[in-house]
């Protein structure tokens, strides 16, 4: 018998529904508007009333209209066919939706995330009599460049015995490929596809490990100064236009991971469209094939209310956990979590909850922490490891890092890549502030060399601030050289040219070599007749080093340019 309720209140996309039979938190309901059924989620239950957030425009709904409760939690489909797709926050495949609806998407139109007619070549790896647990592999199907593992449903508990497995062949995602029996003798079907609630972490692994291995992003300022760990978390706060989205896109192309999931949970439409257009055309530097073959994009449509931003975030992290369960390394990029938090604030206001700072919900910090905690490195039951690295951008109004979303995020992440308006205006990209940013993870370069470089940057900044007051003429030649050294380090190492094929991505071995060379120069005592001579030398050296950055590593030309740098530096070295 279908469980239904009646609408007793409508406030924007928040419905208050009276019910008779029990309903549960996060249950999916459908508000009926004629033949249109609008998807909603129960976000609070009080007495005999449930409050639901609707993921569609609620125009036309009125008191007395019927709501159908499904008994199912807000969930996603997990199986082969996810990669290369573009989904909305509810996992509707947007290309297929656009084909069916035309230019404007229709309200209440929902499609199967995974195509039911596509057949996949299933190869069994388990056999009858095997003992398994949830998350263990019973077979594989090829999906692009990966062997997609078909796993025992995550919802099953305890030890199970494989009762039967089909022979190798082609099957659709809703066909049964294995049957497992639990300790009470009940049989459970295993299909190529399974369903999992987005608000519940997938925990079918043997052990959670501490992130220790650096994740190479090929961005020098990140890998060297503010590294990210494989399975770690980091955030990129910054004012509008400082380059958050561009930095994420560059990272997604060159990071040393297997799968990239982009959750555009609130970024501007123009940048999302740019991502959708560019990624299918980009060549994956790891495989030489299309970057989309290992990429999955989730973005809201303009017809969806802000409540859908929350669904986008949780859909993205659930899909990331699914691929981690296969032993893959996944990078989840959420852009921008500030707009997700604004959606939480809007719904909290409609629920008439007691507000916290700046009217954000009082539980904002715990919600953000719960999201980032779903990242991490895990050891699976077969001994392999998988990871989910989460990077979220934050868009504080006016670039104010003291606002609640940024502060709540900084308490839980392992690295902080703070973008600076001053560096952005000066066209110093990536615009990560080298003095304010930090990381708790291990760098790819020598710690002693890193300490020297950070000291030069800090002392050079202090001299630069002093020069704004007393002028260049009031600065000693020694302090002026320190300032020029810090500017040199900034120009040739912290900044990268994303439009140059070589300089856009710097491998770790090249970073170690170049950084060691630069630090050795920074330690060198230099001799100049006057400040003009010092300035002229550093201008010439900066251009020569930038040219060096754009030459293929370990080539004859690279070595020749390094020798030229040696010659330039030797001419001004003070050997006394």
pLDDT at 268: 58
DSSP count for the chain of H helices, then E strands = 14, 26
Predicted confidence (pLDDT) per residue in 455-480, tens digit: 999 999 999 999 999 988 899 999 99
Is 85 inside a domain boundary? no
The chain-wide mean pLDDT, for the chain, equals 93
What number is the average pLDDT over the span 192-203? 96
In 126-223, where does DSSP find H-type helix?
220
Domain shared by 342 and 423, yes or no = yes
CATH number at residue 296: 3.40.50.300
Confidence of residue 498 (pLDDT cuts 50, 70, 90): confident
What number is the average pLDDT over the span 207-216? 96
d(CA 508, CA 215): 10
Is 302 inside a domain boundary? yes
Is 135 inside a domain boundary? yes
Domain shared by 416 and 268, yes or no = yes
Can you say which residues are annotated as belonging to the binding site for ATP?
238-245
Domain shared by 183 and 217, yes or no = no
Domain shared by 401 and 323, yes or no = yes
CA distances (Å), origin 116, targets 81, 90, 102, 188, 245 = 10, 18, 22, 21, 34
Residue 465's CB: how many other CB atoms inside 10 A? Answer: 10
| Closest to 377 in 3D by CA, of 209, 205, 135, 206 | 209
pLDDT at 166: 97
Indicate the residue among 39, 73, 107 that finishes a domain.
73
What number is the average pLDDT over the span 440-454? 96
d(CA 353, CA 450): 48
Domain shared by 415 and 452, yes or no = no
d(CA 246, CA 281): 16
Indicate the residue among 405, 439, 473 that finishes a domain.
439
Q: 447-470 vs 477-489: helix axis angle to the nearest 10?
A: 120
Q: Given strand 146-151, what is the order of strands in its sheet?
A: 146-151, 137-143, 120-124, 169-171
Is 465 inside a domain boundary? yes
Is 110 inside a domain boundary? no
* Rg of the Cα atoms in the chain: 27
pLDDT at residue 98 above 70?
yes
Tokens (6 digits) for 339: 């707009």
Domain shared by 430 and 481, yes or no = no
What number is the average pLDDT over the span 397-407? 91
Residues spanned by the domain of 169: 120-192
pLDDT at residue 266 above 80?
no
How many separate domains does the chain show?
4
d(CA 346, CA 328): 36
CATH number at residue 132: 2.40.50.100
Is 82 inside a domain boundary? no
What percent of the chain stands above pLDDT 70? Answer: 98
Compute the Cα dihedral for 181, 182, 184, 186 and give only its sign: negative
d(CA 215, CA 203): 23
Indicate the residue among 18, 52, 73 that finishes a domain.
73
pLDDT at 374: 97
What number is the average pLDDT over the span 373-396? 95
Peptide bond into 336 cis (omega under 30): yes
The DSSP H or E segment spanning 209 is: strand 207-209
Is 200 inside a domain boundary? no
3-state SS assignment for residue 394: strand
Domain shared by 174 and 257, yes or no = no
Q: 18-22, 70-74, 130-134, 300-304: which range is least confident on average?
A: 300-304
Q: How many residues does the chain have?
A: 576
3-state SS assignment for residue 566: helix
pLDDT at 283: 78
| Closest to 220 in 3D by CA, of 492, 487, 550 | 492
- DSSP character string of 419-465: B-HHHHHTT-SS-B-TTT-EESSPPSS-HHHHHHHHHHHHHHHHHHH
Can you say which residues are annotated as belonging to the binding site?
238-245
pLDDT at 550: 96
Domain shared by 184 and 246, yes or no = no
Confidence of residue 269 (pLDDT cuts 50, 70, 90): low
Burial of 20 per CB tally in 10 Å (0-12, 13-18, 19+): exposed
- DSSP character string of 20-59: SS---TTEEEEEEETTEEEEEEEEEEETTEEEEEESS--T
Domain shared by 382 and 495, yes or no = no
Is 210 inside a domain boundary? yes
pLDDT at residue 308 above 90?
no
In 325-446, where does DSSP find H-type helix?
337-350, 364-372, 404-410, 421-425
Tokens (6 digits) for 136: 């263990």
In Å, the largest CA–CA distance within the chain is: 93
CATH number at residue 43: 2.40.10.170
Domain shared by 183 and 244, yes or no = no
CATH number at residue 560: 1.10.1140.10
Domain shared by 483 and 342, yes or no = no
The more confidently predicted of residues 304 and 574 is 574
Domain shared by 400 and 283, yes or no = yes
What number is the average pLDDT over the span 416-423? 94
């Amino acid at each position: 018998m279908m469980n239904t309720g009646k609408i007793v209140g409508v406030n924007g996309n928040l419905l208050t529904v009276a019910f008779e039979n029990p309903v549960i938190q996060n249950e999916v309901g459908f508000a009926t508007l004629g033949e249109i059924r609008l998807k909603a989620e129960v976000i609070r239950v009080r007495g005999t009333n449930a409050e639901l957030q609707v993921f569609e425009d609620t125009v036309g709904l009125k008191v007395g209209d019927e709501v159908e409760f499904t008994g199912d939690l807000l969930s996603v489909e997990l199986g082969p066919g996810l990669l290369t797709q573009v989904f909305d926050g509810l996992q509707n495949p947007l290309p297929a939706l656009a084909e069916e609806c035309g230019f404007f998407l229709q309200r209440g139109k929902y499609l199967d995330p995974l195509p039911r007619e596509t057949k996949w070549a299933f190869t069994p790896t388990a056999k009858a009599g095997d003992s398994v647990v949830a998350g263990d592999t019973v077979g594989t199907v090829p999906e692009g460049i990966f062997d997609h593992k078909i796993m025992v449903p995550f919802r099953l508990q305890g030890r199970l015995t494989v009762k039967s497995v089909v022979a190798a062949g082609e099957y659709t995602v809703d066909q049964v490929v294995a049957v497992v029996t639990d300790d009470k003798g009940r049989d459970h079907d295993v299909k190529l596809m399974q369903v999992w609630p987005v608000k519940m972490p997938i925990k079918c692994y043997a052990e959670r490990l501490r992130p220790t291995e650096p994740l190479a992003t090929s961005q020098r300022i990140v890998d060297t100064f503010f590294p990210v760990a494989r399975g770690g978390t980091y955030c990129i706060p910054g004012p509008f236009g400082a380059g958050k989205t561009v930095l994420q896109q560059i990272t997604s192309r060159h990071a040393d991971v297997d799968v990239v999931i982009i959750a555009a949970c609130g970024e501007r439409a123009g940048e999302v469209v740019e991502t959708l257009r560019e990624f299918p055309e980009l060549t994956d530097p790891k495989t030489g094939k299309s970057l989309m073959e290992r990429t999955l994009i989730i973005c809201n449509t303009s017809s969806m209310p802000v409540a859908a931003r929350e669904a986008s975030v949780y859909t993205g992290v659930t899909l990331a956990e699914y691929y981690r369960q296969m032993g893959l390394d996944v990078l989840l990029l959420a852009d921008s979590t500030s707009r997700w938090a604004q959606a939480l604030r809007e719904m909290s206001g409609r629920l008439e909850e007691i507000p916290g700072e700046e009217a954000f919900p009082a539980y904002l910090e715990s919600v953000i922490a719960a999201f980032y905690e779903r990242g991490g490195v895990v050891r699976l039951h077969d001994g392999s490891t998988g990871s989910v690295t989460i990077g979220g951008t934050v868009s504080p109004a006016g670039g104010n890092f003291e606002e609640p979303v940024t502060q709540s995020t900084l308490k839980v992440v392992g690295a902080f890549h703070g973008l600076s308006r001053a560096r952005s205006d000066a066209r110093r990209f990536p615009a990560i502030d080298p003095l304010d940013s930090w990381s708790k993870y291990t760098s790819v370069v020598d710690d002693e060399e890193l300490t020297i470089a950070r000291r030069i940057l800090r002392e050079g900044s202090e001299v630069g601030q002093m020069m704004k007051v007393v002028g260049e003429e009031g600065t000693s030649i020694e302090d002026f050289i320190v300032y020029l050294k810090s500017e040199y380090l900034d120009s040739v190492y912290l900044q990268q040219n994303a439009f140059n094929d070589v300089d856009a991505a710097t491998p770790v071995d090249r970073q170690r070599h170049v950084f060691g060379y630069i630090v050795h120069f920074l330690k060198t005592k230099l001799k100049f007749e006057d400040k003009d001579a010092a300035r002229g030398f550093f201008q010439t050296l900066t251009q020569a080093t930038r040219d060096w950055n754009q030459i293929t590593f370990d080539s004859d030309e690279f070595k020749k340019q390094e020798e030229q740098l040696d010659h330039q530096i030797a001419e001004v070295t003070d050997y006394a």
